[in-house]
C-alpha cells in the first residue's frame, strides 16, 4: 500500500515539475515584458523636465483612437492608409520590446521618420486621385528642416527687457504676411506685452496677480503673386520695430500649419525655458488677457500643481471627431490618407498649455509624422504622451451660442472667442475697459447643459 502511494507520488512529481517550471518561466517573461514597457512610460527621476512618456501600441487603452494598432506585432494593420501605415512603421521603431535602445535618448529621431518613407515607396501607390493640397502635403511631408527667415534677436519673443524675469505667458499667434492689420490690432489690445495686471479677485481684496507677457507671431511665406514688395518690407520693419516676428521658409498654406507647431516648439525649447504658459491661437480671435492671467494664477495655486503642470492643456476640447470625408471641404481627408477617428483634441483657434508640456510635445513630435490638420496633430502627440486636454467653456472657438453675446458682461465671462475682425477686436477691447467696474465680479462661463458626448 505504502509502495503504491510512493509510485504515484513520483509520477505526480514527474508530471508537475515541468508544469511548475513552465509557469514560472511564463510569469518571468510576462513580468519582464511589462516592466520594460512601463519603464519607457515613466518619468526620468531627478530631472525637472519630464521625459517623453511614450505609449507603445498595444498598451493604449483607448477605443476612441483607432490609429494606434491594438497590438504592437500587427504589422499588416492599416496598409491602405498612408499616414496610419507610416506611423505604424515608426511606432514599431520606438517599441521598447522590439528596440529597447531606441527609447533611450541620444539617437536621431528624424532618421526614423525618414526611414518609414522608404517602406512606403515600396508599396508603389497611385496618388493621382488625391486633391491637390494633399498631393503637395505628401510631397513635403518628410521635411521639417525649413530655415528661419526672420526672428527676434535670441530672445523668447517681444516684451521683456529683463531676461531673468520669469514669463507667465507667451502669446504665440499664427499669422500671415498680409495680415498686418490683425497683428497691429492684437499689439494694441489683448496682445500687449511686459507686465500685465491680472484681474483683481474682487473689489475689496488687495492682491493683484499679474505677470510678464511676451508675444510672437508665427509665419510662413505667402505666394509672391499675392504679396507686394511693400508687404514684405513692412514685415521686415515690423520685425525690427517690435521684435515679435518668427518666420520660416515654407509656403503658408492651411495644410502646412502643423509645421508652425513643430517649429515653434523647437524654437521655444531653445529659448523659452523660463516660460510658464503658452497661448497658441489664430490672429482673428479676441482674448480676455486679464481673465486669462487670473485663470492661470488659479491653476498655479492648485494642489499637486508640480505634477499636473507637466501635462496642462486647456481649451475647447473636441471628442470623437471623425475625418471630414466631403471632398470639397477645406478639411477633406480621404481614407487612403487616414483611417480611424481623430484623437481628443483642443480646437486650434486658441489653446493654452504649459511650458513643460511644450517641451515634451516637441520631443514627442520627433516620433509622430506630420498630419495636415494642426490641432489634430497636437492631439495625436498628446495621446502618445498619455496627456489629456482640459475642456473649459470659456474658450469659444465656435463663437457665442445663441444670443448670449448680447448680455452686458458677456465678454467678461470668457477667455477667448473666435472669430473677430481687427476692427471688432479694437472695439471690444475698449468696451471691456469701459465696463470694467460694472462687470467686475462676473465669473467665467460654465456649462449650462450637459456636454454632448
**Applying CB under 6 A, which of residues 54, 242, 250, 279 lies at the interface with ligand NAG?**
250
Query: Between the CA of residue 345 and those of 134, 174, 196, 396, 450, what are the distances in Å?
Result: 22, 18, 29, 15, 19
256 versus 354: smaller Cβ distance to ligand NAG:
256
In this structure, what DSSP letter does residue 215 have?
E
253 binds ligand NAG (CB under 6 A): yes
205 binds ligand NAG (CB under 6 A): yes
Query: Closest Cα partner for 353 from 447, 301, 276, 446?
Result: 276
453 binds ligand NAG (CB under 6 A): yes
297 binds ligand NAG (CB under 6 A): no
Question: CA–CA separation, 215 vs 102, rounded Å?
Answer: 36
209 versus 273: smaller Cβ distance to ligand NAG:
209
Candidate segments 87-95, 147-155, 247-255, 270-278, binder of ligand NAG by CB under 6 A: 247-255
Q: 59 near 49, Cβ under 8 Å? A: no
Question: CA–CA separation, 335 vs 83, rounded Å?
Answer: 10
Question: CA–CA separation, 366 vs 213, rounded Å?
Answer: 28
User: Which sign does the torsion angle of CA 422, 426, 429, 434 carry?
Assistant: negative
Find the shortest distance in angstroms from Cβ 133 to ligand NAG.
5
Phi, psi of 258 (to 5 degrees): -60, -30
Candidate segments 198-206, 274-282, 351-359, 406-414, binder of ligand NAG by CB under 6 A: 198-206
Find the shortest distance in angstroms from Cβ 21 to ligand NAG.
28
Candidate segments 84-92, 107-115, 245-253, 413-421, binder of ligand NAG by CB under 6 A: 245-253
Query: Closest Cα partner for 91 from 55, 133, 141?
Result: 55
331 binds ligand NAG (CB under 6 A): no
**Applying CB under 6 A, which of residues 117, 136, 180, 232 lies at the interface with ligand NAG?**
136
**Quick one: three-class SS letters along 138-195?**
HHHCCCCCCCEEECCCCCCCECCCCCCCCEEEEEEEECCCCCHHHHHHHHHCCCCCEE
Find the shortest distance in angstroms from Cβ 363 to ligand NAG.
19
**How deeply is 102 buried, as exposed, middle or buried, from its count of CB atoms within 10 A (0-12, 13-18, 19+)?**
middle
Find the shortest distance in angstroms from Cβ 372 to ligand NAG.
7
Find the shortest distance in angstroms from Cβ 253 to ligand NAG.
4
Cα 242 to the chain's mean position, in Å?
27
**Applying CB under 6 A, which of residues 17, 34, 39, 62 lies at the interface with ligand NAG?**
62
Q: CB atoms < 10 A from the CB of 277, how many?
A: 27
Contacts of 193 (CB under 8 A, 6+ apart): 157, 158, 159, 160, 171, 213, 214, 215, 244
Question: CA–CA separation, 185 vs 429, rounded Å?
Answer: 10
Query: Which string of b and e fits 434-449 if b means at least 16 CB within 10 Å?
Result: ebeeebeebebbeeee
Question: CA–CA separation, 182 vs 422, rounded Å?
Answer: 5
251 binds ligand NAG (CB under 6 A): yes
201 versus 391: smaller Cβ distance to ligand NAG:
201
Residues 403-442 touching ligand NAG, rule: CB under 6 A, are: none
141 versus 168: smaller Cβ distance to ligand NAG:
141
204 versus 406: smaller Cβ distance to ligand NAG:
204
Find the shortest distance in angstroms from Cβ 155 to ligand NAG.
27
**Applying CB under 6 A, which of residues 80, 188, 308, 320 lies at the interface with ligand NAG?**
320
137 versus 411: smaller Cβ distance to ligand NAG:
137
Candidate segments 3-11, 120-128, 162-170, 248-256, binder of ligand NAG by CB under 6 A: 248-256
201 binds ligand NAG (CB under 6 A): yes
Candidate segments 85-93, 249-257, 275-283, 375-383, binder of ligand NAG by CB under 6 A: 249-257
66 binds ligand NAG (CB under 6 A): no
Find the shortest distance in angstroms from Cβ 97 to ligand NAG.
12
In this structure, what DSSP letter does residue 101 have?
G
- Binding map of ligand NAG across residues 80-119, x = CB under 6 A, - = no contact: ---------------------x------------------
Query: Closest Cα partner for 73 from 53, 63, 88, 54?
Result: 88
User: Which sign does the torsion angle of CA 217, 177, 397, 254 carry?
Assistant: negative
Phi, psi of 154 (to 5 degrees): 50, 30
39 binds ligand NAG (CB under 6 A): no
136 versus 180: smaller Cβ distance to ligand NAG:
136
Q: Which residues bind ligand NAG (CB under 6 A)?
A: 62, 64, 101, 131, 133, 136-137, 140, 201-202, 204-205, 250-251, 253, 255-256, 319-320, 327, 453
Amino acid at each position: 500500500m505504502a509502495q503504491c502511494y510512493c509510485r504515484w507520488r513520483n509520477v505526480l512529481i514527474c508530471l508537475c515539475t515541468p508544469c511548475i517550471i513552465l509557469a514560472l518561466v511564463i510569469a518571468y517573461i510576462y513580468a519582464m515584458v511589462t516592466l520594460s514597457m512601463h519603464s519607457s512610460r515613466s518619468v526620468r527621476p531627478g530631472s525637472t523636465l519630464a521625459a517623453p512618456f511614450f505609449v507603445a501600441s498595444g498598451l493604449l487603452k483607448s477605443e476612441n483612437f483607432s490609429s494606434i494598432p491594438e497590438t504592437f506585432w500587427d504589422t499588416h494593420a492599416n496598409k491602405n492608409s498612408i499616414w496610419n501605415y507610416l506611423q505604424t512603421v515608426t511606432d514599431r521603431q520606438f517599441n521598447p520590446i522590439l528596440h529597447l535602445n531606441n527609447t533611450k535618448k541620444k539617437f536621431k529621431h528624424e532618421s526614423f521618420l525618414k526611414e518609414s518613407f522608404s517602406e512606403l515607396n515600396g508599396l508603389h501607390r497611385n496618388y493621382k486621385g488625391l486633391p491637390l493640397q494633399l498631393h503637395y502635403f505628401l510631397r513635403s511631408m518628410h521635411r521639417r528642416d525649413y530655415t528661419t527667415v526672420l526672428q527676434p534677436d535670441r530672445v523668447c519673443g517681444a516684451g521683456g527687457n529683463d531676461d531673468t524675469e520669469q514669463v507667465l505667458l507667451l502669446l504665440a499667434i499664427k499669422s500671415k504676411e498680409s495680415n498686418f492689420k490683425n497683428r497691429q490690432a492684437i499689439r494694441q489690445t489683448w496682445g500687449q506685452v511686459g507686465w500685465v495686471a491680472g484681474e483683481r479677485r474682487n473689489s475689496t481684496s488687495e492682491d493683484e496677480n499679474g505677470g510678464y507677457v511676451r508675444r510672437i507671431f508665427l509665419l510662413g511665406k505667402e505666394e509672391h503673386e499675392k504679396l507686394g514688395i511693400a508687404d514684405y518690407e513692412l514685415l521686415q520693419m515690423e520685425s525690427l520695430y517690435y521684435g515679435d516676428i518668427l518666420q520660416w521658409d515654407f509656403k503658408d498654406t492651411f495644410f502646412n500649419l502643423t509645421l508652425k507647431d513643430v517649429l515653434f516648439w523647437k524654437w521655444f525649447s531653445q529659448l523659452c525655458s523660463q516660460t510658464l504658459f503658452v497661448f497658441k491661437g489664430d490672429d482673428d480671435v479676441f482674448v480676455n488677457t486679464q481673465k486669462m492671467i487670473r485663470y492661470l494664477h488659479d491653476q498655479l495655486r492648485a494642489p499637486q500643481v508640480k505634477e499636473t503642470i507637466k501635462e496642462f492643456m486647456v481649451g475647447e476640447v473636441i471628442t470623437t471627431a471623425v475625418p471630414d470625408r466631403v471632398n470639397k471641404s477645406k478639411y477633406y481627408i480621404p481614407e487612403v490618407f487616414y483611417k480611424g477617428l481623430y484623437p481628443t483634441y483642443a480646437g486650434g483657434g486658441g489653446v493654452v498649455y504649459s511650458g513643460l508640456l511644450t517641451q515634451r510635445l516637441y520631443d514627442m513630435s520627433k516620433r509622430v509624422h506630420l498630419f495636415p490638420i494642426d490641432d489634430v496633430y497636437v492631439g495625436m502627440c498628446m495621446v502618445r504622451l498619455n496627456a489629456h486636454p482640459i475642456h473649459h467653456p470659456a474658450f469659444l472657438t465656435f463663437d457665442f451660442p445663441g444670443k448670449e453675446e448680447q448680455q452686458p458682461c458677456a465678454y467678461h465671462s470668457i477667455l477667448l472667442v473666435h472669430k473677430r475682425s481687427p476692427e471688432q477686436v479694437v472695439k471690444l477691447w475698449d468696451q471691456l475697459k469701459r465696463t470694467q467696474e460694472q462687470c467686475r465680479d462676473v465669473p467665467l462661463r460654465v456649462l449650462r447643459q450637459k456636454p454632448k458626448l
